Chains A and B, each alone.
Chain A
Amino acid sequence: MKRRISIGLAVVLLAAVVVAIVFGSGDDDPVPGQGAQVVRGVGGSEKAAFFADARVVEVFGRHGLRVEFDSAGSRQIATTVDLAQYDFAFPSSRPAAQRIKQDKKVNKVYTPFRSPMAVATFAPIVDLLTSQGVVHKGLGEYQVLDIAKYLELTGKGTRWDQLPGNTAYPVRKNVLITTTDPRNSNSAAMYLALVSHVLNDNQVVATPEAEAKVLPAAVKLFIDQGYTQSSSEGPFEDYLAAGMGKAPLVFIYESQFLDRQLRGDGSIRPDMKLLYPQPTLLSEHTLVPLKGEGGRVGELLSTDPDLKRLAAEFGFRTDDPKAFLDLLADRKLSAPADLLSQAEVPSYETLERLLNEIAKYYR
């Protein structure tokens, strides 16, 4: 089932980095959030840097709020994290938000940020995979990693050094996208959503038969990687710091890459390239208010022009596509305005069942 979605209509977003630090929260920080009402939230690590940013803290401060944000995997948020201490949950995907919404009987949720999933890689790898027909120009004006072709390679357990004519990266390791740990991280669940769609003949997985059909190949994509990290910042950081030998292909949120480019700190070197999978998949960061001022945070993120602009600074797409694209153009960067051929994310229940099946192979 293919849909055409204008990616631009996303709402605000955030970016990734490290382990969060809430600048406004230290005792030694007298300015921004002084006397403000503290709002506590929990969400994916890729949004931590946004909430930690002094400008973001300042805008919330103007509205009398001080947001303290803890990082946790979206699956953990939906299952194991004690949500009683938080005013809002901010998982990185709609299915996880849906689950919390149901559990906590919340009526209104906000989807202020969206980010397509992407694959961070390097120029020599792009050239190599182009020569193998795995990377090509997609339906839009951007290069895609053809997931069906990629799955042909992984299905056979192809190693890099077995690709014909490969002198650029003759490594004795399987051609395999590096993901996070499917047992606790949303980006791995998004990867599963994507590959399951292609493995199921480009249909969203919605029946037990389809689950059984996609599972063997999907399990292998995770288990063959061996150890995976639990948050999306981990593998992206390896990509940035350790380079091609460790992480030739890394599954990330587009926002993670754009955030680094927008910072202009030199961490994205000229040979670092971003590919979009075909089909593409959108991660919809959804804020679920739990109590107190949680809902106001969702509302502000969705409506405050300054926060939307700042979200774009962190690489997130909001419901103001023009602001996002203008900002990129202003910094001499670019990202596709529209992403075509969208895969659909399975329901929370289906995704959970698949993830639980995969988890069994880690025992």
Chain B
Amino acid sequence: MKRVIATVLAVAAVLSGCSSDAGDEKPASQAEAGKLRVLAGSELADLKPVLEQAAQATGVRVEFTFSGTIEGSEVLASGKADGRYDAVWFSANRYPQAIPDAARRLGAQAKVMTSPVVLGLARSKATELGWVDKPVSWSDIAKAAADKRFSYGMTDPSASNSGFSALVGVASALAGTGSAISATEVGAVKPQLKGFFSAQAMSAGSSGWLSEAYQRRATGEDPGAKIDGLINYESVLLSLNAGGKLPEPLALIYPSDGVVTADYPLTALKDAPEHARADHKKLTEYLRTPAVQRDIMSRTHRRPAVPGVELDKDFGTRTLVELPFPATEQAFDALLMAYFDEIRRPSRTVYVLDVSGSMAGERIEKLRAALVGLTGASNDLVGRYRRFHGREEVTFLPFSGEPGQPITFSVPEVDQRAELDRIKQTAEDLDSGGGTAIYSSLERAYQHLGAQPDDGRFTSIVLMTDGENNSGTDLAGFQQAREKLPERLKGVPVFTVLFGEGNKDEMADVARRTGGKVFDARDTDLQHVFREIRGYQ
């Protein structure tokens, strides 16, 4: 199982010459003194300048491989991190700590910085809601959201810690028991959670992409309706404000009943070589000195982890109440499964799938496997959360020289197996042959979506192709036609998947103009990419 976060690879490479695959069997690089091989959350890319100075000061270089927290925990638990990484560095150790096979591999840990997950709202919207400089609880937020008084973006809780923290935070606060939320208590707050999530207008697989996408929407660079705010790390929201590109700054709303805070523990693996554990000590000691803590605070807007470093004034002076966080995999799982199958706004996705002649052989097999993987065939930790969920509508639109017939599936809220099996069967029956009519098929996908009711679903298109367009409309023709689409369809993002000899520039163009994103599956497992895209749907 391969795990790549394509967007941050470039950064990673600069930082380190980093490998792209968190869980691959071959070593990321050889262990050596003075180098710490770290499996880390992608948002840590912003520490690059700090870590460069750290390398100068301590002689310890960090080599990052990026991964989400749950994916990373799974890599740890499976043993695939053994010998490949010396340390892990996620936004929190709460998740790996709850997975026994991951927890027992964690060694010495040192918190490096902290950032609570809070709501950022365009200032005018916050004023309109009467939420500026006034205590606002999660219940107030959930109620206003249920009444559609504002809209927001949030990351997928199975892909990114900020979304996961927000889900735990809002559920715990709404349950109001004063102790860590349990699996059974999740059920009682489902109706309120449903109200809260009905206002979610954007999802993403990473906190960084979400913040960029929010900004592009706010400035009008991306199509689609403006979004009023986003739930993200305080550090991301403050960075957006500091960037100065937003038409109006975000007001940060710190829920009065509590937040969940990331504390970024740099954690040595228990079985890392002795030199690596010594390097870990050296590096964490350095990172936790007051001067470096101040540097991290001013560069990244994260709070210091050690006492005695005064907070910048951006952070305000309020006392942040920390909500208790569940400690068991069972509680996490209950919350995530309820979120996906029952609580969140269901999605509608059209998969536009290239089955032209060039896909014959290994390629079509990979495509089939990638789709089958989303039907619950892989019941590993990540697979469980990325499969097609209850209430979801999925359409396959296979194409070659011309668009094929769309086949639509509706996964019921309960008893999902039969419909998932139908999807599986259909994926397995995909066959290759013929030309490549990419853009005519994309137009057909919009046509299909246009014929569906406007029922408040998360709507997106996935376009997977392994070659050049050689039939039907061309890119220019498609872009012209797209301009004439109704607003509702113009805002539908297209997530393009580069495969085989797919045209990189054209796929990037389509993604950019639609507010989507390119995923590169040329050097990695298609199944992993399809899973990753699920975080955006």
Contact = CB atoms under 8 A, between A and B. Distances in A.
Contacts, number: 127
A173 interface: yes
Contacts of B94: 227
A158 to B, nearest CB: 8
Nearest to A23: B285
B241 interface: no
Given A18-B288, A19-B110, A241-B305, A363 B330 contact: yes
Interface in A226-241: 226-228, 230-231, 234, 237-238, 240-241
Given A173-B178, A225-B180, A226-B327, A243 B319 contact: yes
Contacts of B104: 80
Contacts of B282: 21, 26
Contacts of B206: none
A265 B282 CA distance: 21
Contact of B308 (A26, A231, A243, A267): A267
A240 B177 CA distance: 26
B97 interface: yes
Contacts of B263: 238
A223 to B, nearest CB: 7
A183 B261 CA distance: 23
Contacts of A244: 319
A188 to B, nearest CB: 12
B320 A173 contact: no
A225 B285 CA distance: 29
Nearest to B330: A363
Given A172-B176, A226-B325, A242 B320 contact: yes
A227 B327 contact: yes
Interface residues of A, number: 47
Interface in B128-149: none
A315 to B, nearest CB: 16
B109 interface: yes
A19 B327 contact: no
Contacts of B322: 238, 242, 245-247
Given A71-B108, A242-B320, A243-B319, A224 B307 contact: no
Contacts of B109: 19, 230-231, 234
B386 interface: no
Contact of A173 (B278, B308, B324, B329): B324
B330 A227 contact: no
Contacts of A176: 179
Contacts of A223: 179-180, 327
Given A230-B109, A244-B319, A245-B320, A19 B281 contact: yes
A266 B308 contact: yes
13 contacts: A18-B285, A157-B177, A172-B258, A176-B179, A224-B179, A224-B180, A224-B324, A225-B324, A225-B327, A240-B306, A246-B322, A362-B327, A363-B330
Interface of B: 59, 94, 97-98, 100, 104, 106, 108-111, 114, 173, 176-181, 257-258, 261, 263, 277-278, 280-282, 284-285, 288, 303-308, 319-330
Interface of A: 18-22, 25-26, 28, 45, 70-71, 80, 157, 159-160, 171-174, 176, 181, 223-228, 230-231, 234, 237-238, 240-247, 260, 265-267, 361-363
Shortest 5 CB-CB contacts between residues of A and residues of B:
A226-B180, A224-B179, A240-B307, A246-B322, A267-B307
